[in-house]
Copies of this chain bind each other. A is one copy, B any other.
Amino acid sequence: MLKGILNFAHYLLEESVNPGDTTIDATCGNGNDTLFLSRIVGTNGHVIACDIQQQAIDATRQRLVEHNRFNVSFIQDSHARLKKYINKDTQIGGAIFNLGYLPKSDKLIITNGESTISAIDIILDFLKQGRLIVLVVYHGHPGGEEEKNTVLKHVMNLDQNDYNVVQYGFINQKNNPPFIIAIEKKQ
């Protein structure tokens, strides 16, 4: 069966992240992906969960406590400023973004193209070779089309000698369905 968007995002991370890795959830939202990363890196691994909204940090923290997961640290700030929180020798084993707005929250607080591409470039610097940044691109909301175009333009220009960039999405669905962009830092 063809994998849906969220399944495919998790499949890509599961195939590439190893136990013990340090990973990033750049938009932790309701904590779903943070919990997933927390499990696949295991007790010796680490997840950095970032979100600009207090509500998201609180929801994610609670979700993790409920599942007895304690290998996560939190950054409440824009992911465009991630660099100041990451030790310069850190090697990142994988990262995920959900672009759009936090479900059940203020739809005026959305990720935007410029900060998203800044965050992508920061994480690419820290990313291990052969590993992935996975972006789940929601773009049906106001501002979503613009962010989608900014991000697509940026990743399409990543040098093919250094990166593989894949797009995966359903092309016969109505209402601007989300799609995946996956960026692999080549070996």
Question: Could you list which residues of chain A lie within 8 angstroms of chain B, going by C-beta atoms?
Answer: 1-2, 12, 15-16, 130, 132, 152, 155-160, 163-174, 181-182, 184
- In-complex Cβ contact of A171 among B16, B156, B173, B184 (8 A): B156
Q: In the complex where A1-B130, A2-B132, A182-B2 touch, is A165 in contact with B171 (Cβ < 8 A)?
A: yes
This chain's copy number in the assembly: 2
B168 x A172 contact (CB < 8 A): no
A129 smallest CB distance to B (angstroms): 10
Q: How far is the CA of A168 from the CA of B182 in the complex (A)?
A: 11
- In-complex Cβ contact of A172 among B15, B160, B169, B173 (8 A): B160
Secondary structure of the A side of the interface? mixed
Instruction: Give every chain B residue within 8 A of A155 (Cβ-Cβ).
Output: 171-172
B160 x A165 contact (CB < 8 A): no
20 other A-B residue contacts (CB within 8 Å) besides A165-B170, A167-B168: A1-B15, A1-B130, A2-B132, A2-B164, A2-B166, A2-B182, A2-B184, A156-B171, A158-B172, A160-B174, A163-B172, A165-B172, A166-B168, A166-B170, A166-B171, A167-B167, A167-B169, A167-B171, A168-B168, A171-B181
A104 smallest CB distance to B (angstroms): 26
Among A2, A168, A184: residue with most chain B CB under 10 A: A2
Instruction: Give every chain B residue within 8 A of A1 (Cβ-Cβ).
Output: 15-16, 130, 184
Q: Which residue of B lies closest to A1 (CB)?
A: B130
Q: Which residue of B lies closest to A162 (CB)?
A: B172
